[in-house]
């Protein structure tokens, strides 16, 4: 069961890094409203976005598995 917590920690660090790599500077418009343009993700940005989703799903599955296994070992 300790292996689940180690893998979960590694996935958590990778997820944080993937999220931080996606952060973009946002312009502040009139009265604090941000101006944004919707556009399609391409190349590395698309790969990073998909990797973030996959890492989040893996993290959630590992969290649920860790809770389930800890309840059965009580």
pLDDT tens, residue by residue, 25-64 = 444 455 555 555 666 778 888 899 999 999 999 999 999 9
pLDDT tens, residue by residue, 5-32 = 999 999 999 999 999 988 764 444 555 5
Determine whether 11 is exposed, middle or buried from the number of CB atoms within 10 Å of its CB (0-12, 13-18, 19+): buried
Contact in structure between 55 and 45 (CB atoms under 8 Å): no
Global confidence as pTM:
0.73
């Amino acid at each position: 069961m300790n292996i689940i917590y180690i893998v979960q920690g590694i996935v958590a660090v990778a997820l944080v890094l993937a999220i931080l790599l996606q952060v973009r500077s946002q312009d502040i418009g009139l009265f604090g409203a941000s101006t944004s343009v919707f556009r399609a993700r391409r190349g590395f940005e698309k790969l990073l976005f998909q990797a973030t989703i996959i890492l989040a799903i893996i993290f959630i599955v590992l969290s649920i598995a860790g809770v389930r296994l800890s309840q059965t070992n009580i």
